[in-house]
Amino acid sequence: MLLRDSHDLAVPPSTPVEDVVPAGGVPLRALAYPELRYMGSKHRLIPWIHDVLSTLDFETALDPFCGTGCVAYLMKAMGRQVTACDFLGFTTLVAQATVANATRTLDGADVDAILSPRADADDFIARTFDGVFFTADDRVFLDRASAGLRRLDDPDARAVAYAALFRSCLKKQPRGVFTVSGDLARYDDGRRDLRLSLEEHFREQVAVFNAAVFDNGRANRAFQADVFETDAPGVDLVYLDPPYVPRSDDNCYVKRYHFLEGLSCYWEDLEIMQDTKVKKIEKRFTPFSYRRTAVDAFERLFARFAKSTIVLSYSSNGYPDLAILEGLLRRRKRRIDLFERQHRYNFGTHASVERARVTEYILVGRG
């Protein structure tokens, strides 16, 4: 898309609008990042995170808990060299599509190739998730698309297709989580997202992710790894947004997104817990989820990245609390700055909305 009216921006009208950065403002690309319904997503906090990051001196950055990829993508849009990681496979694929990928988009021929019927396509999803998720046609489509996109040779092309598929599933699944199944009529409020077939969603989402692809002239990367195995030696800044131990409930990503994690590898080497209603896979251990391990995990986290500027996102409803975290960070960093603002996460049921009203913190440790 080209800029039509550039009066206020003092840039030539031929400039692609995505490349416009209003004076002192957030790159428009970062604001246009495809939002995924994902627990803890910072998408709506991007302008604030940008304001904080733009006060810091860095050229290279690591986001080892990248989730939807929106913060890694913000830093890419700010012109930095970015490495994005997550211990889940499906989130890593999204980051590969948007952060690492500089040029590859999908054209009509790619989409036709992905969607063409195949005699050799498995029917694993149709069989396994019958009566659990989506309509029968949607499940057949997912089996077909999975077979098609796994044949794409170019890993970036595959990643764009996967990202489009994941966002399609998140839009169509009520509440965007895979903890609910069966008769979902009670969720049907006539929303377009629930009415479209997954194939119709997918075609739209390919265009959405194509539009997010751009080259910032740097060698950006995305790979799947546990944070304690992630290595980015000499990186200037590390943005840390780990899960936190909630006051109640749990924060298990696999419980909520097991279907997408399975889809990301067609359940290869993953064992389905057949006695569960929604056909879950085993959850993955992370020390940030438990009171008994969280403090030690933060200690090790800050030690691991002690040579970099540390930017930590955190919420008032998590454990350990801010004072403990600040104390831990002080052991590694001479200068600490605290930024805070009120925020309301849209995630969750009506009953949990009160709980979702929090103070969001960013702790910056330098020196």
Residues in contact with ligand SAM by CB under 6 A are: 38, 40-42, 64-65, 67-68, 70-71, 86-88, 91, 226-227, 241-243, 253, 286, 288
CB of 239 to ligand SAM, least distance (A): 8
**Choice between 149 and 227, CB closer to ligand SAM:** 227
**Choice between 60 and 91, CB closer to ligand SAM:** 91
**Choice between 65 and 178, CB closer to ligand SAM:** 65
CB of 159 to ligand SAM, least distance (A): 16
CB of 81 to ligand SAM, least distance (A): 18
Of residues 323, 324, 318, 322, the one with CA closest to residue 295: 324
CB of 278 to ligand SAM, least distance (A): 18
**Choice between 51 and 122, CB closer to ligand SAM:** 51
**Choice between 70 and 157, CB closer to ligand SAM:** 70
CB of 66 to ligand SAM, least distance (A): 6
Query: What b/e sequence results for 97-115 when a residue is b if at least 16 CB atoms lie within 10 Å of its CB, and e otherwise?
Result: bbbbbeebbbeeebbebbb
CB of 110 to ligand SAM, least distance (A): 26
CB of 109 to ligand SAM, least distance (A): 32
**Choice between 32 and 121, CB closer to ligand SAM:** 32
- The Cα–Cα gap between 106 and 62 comes to 27
**Choice between 176 and 242, CB closer to ligand SAM:** 242
Q: Is 346 exposed, middle or buried (0-12, 13-18, 19+ CB in 10 A)?
A: exposed
**Choice between 31 and 115, CB closer to ligand SAM:** 31
CB of 82 to ligand SAM, least distance (A): 13
